[in-house]
Amino acid sequence: MSLFRTELRRLSKRRFTRYMTLLGLLVLAAVVVGVFFTNQKIGADQLAQAERQADQQYQEQVRWSEQERAACEQAKTAGTATDGRYPPDCSVITPPPREEIKADWFLPSTFDFKETFDETLIPFAAILALVGFVIGASFVGAEWSTGGMMNLLLWRPKRLTVLLTKLAALLTGILAVTLPAAVLWFAGFWAVANFRGSTEKMTSGVWQSFMLTGVRGVVLVLVLTTIGFALASLGRHTAMALGGVVAVMVVGQFGLGILLSMASVRFAEAWLLPTYALAWMTKTVTLQDWNACNATYYGECKPATMDITWQQSSVLLSVGVVVILGAALWAMRRRDIS
């Protein structure tokens, strides 16, 4: 009997795997449904209503300006102290030009597929990465805590082969869920854009960009799944992986962020892991230091910037996987199994 098929079947039969997968898919479905009901398709009626609201806003500004100008002139005539409320010349109190009040401000939310879909791939990857991490940690952690790993090694004494086969089965299962979910995610938001937004200006280049972002999202899911698996194997318990994440994110990331902020470290976000995960998905994250000034030829003062790219993130993710998985393999080979 093939060890890989046996592990894949064991993974699919676990109730925790099924429930966690179902929960993740339900959350994704809830996101799509929520976006559908919170957006509208912009038509002639919506544009006309927005124009009316813009006109109403302009008339309110006109009335307010007239009232304030009259009050300013009255205060100057009476010699009442205004404490700097009014300018020296009351005639400068005027409403803004009508063209400055845009009708676009009053349009309802609409889903533009070209402009917005790329952003939806971030929560998609984050939700499935969390699901993969927990399933991966539980899959091998339960084997250690129940003694199933020891029994399996009596049948297949090659330790590294057994652990890597379990990992391969896990990643295959996660991939079998992630890829169809990604297709449905694309299709769901395409439907949202058709009924509640716009699908205009879609080109082959835009589709290629979306596909590449989706591929990076799938890779992130597989990486987090591997890390969860490796941490649980290293600690021989699911709690090792979950506790490690809590320690890193709560104590390490939040605590480190507060410490760096108190120390006024430049580009403090560059030391935080979520920044690199975001850069991996969006290709570039630009950090700004408002305590520094880069003067321009026009006399402007712009903050210093620092770019975190997806290439830098890929190095960090690769090193993380190699170190954590390598430690799990080393522990599997060297430690006493009994």
pLDDT of residue 300: 67
Per the rule left: phi > 0, alpha: psi between -120 and 50, beta: everything else, 283 is left
State pLDDT tens for residues 156-209.
Answer: 778 788 889 999 999 999 999 999 999 999 999 999 999 998 898 899 999 999
What is the pLDDT at residue 123? 95
DSSP reduced 3-state for 43: coil
* Residue 28: Cβ within 10 Å count: 21
* Cα 168 to the center of its chain, rounded Å: 26
Please answer whether residues 186 and 206 qualify as being in contact, where contact means their C-beta atoms are separated by less than 8 angstroms.
Answer: no
Q: How many CB atoms lie within 10 A of CB 133?
A: 24
Length of the chain: 338
* Residue 109 confidence (pLDDT): 87
Measure Cα distances from 76 to 80, 140, 158, 174 in Å. Answer: 6, 80, 94, 74
Tell me, what's the pLDDT at 19? Answer: 94
pLDDT per position as a tens digit, 86-97: 787 888 888 888
Contact between 126 and 281 (Cβ < 8 Å): no
Q: What is the pLDDT of residue 42?
A: 87
Which parts of the chain register pLDDT below 50?
Answer: none
Question: Which runs of consecutive H residues, i.e. helices, occur in 38-158?
Answer: 44-78, 113-146, 148-155
Q: Are strands 301-309 and 284-295 parallel, antiparallel or unpaired?
A: antiparallel
Q: What is the pLDDT at residue 338?
A: 54
In angstroms, rounded to a whole number, what is the distance separating the alpha carbons of residues 253 and 267?
Answer: 14
For 74, the 3-state DSSP assignment is helix
- Residue matched to tokens 């009596």: 154
pTM of the entire predicted model: 0.82
pLDDT for position 20: 93
Q: What is the pLDDT of residue 218?
A: 96
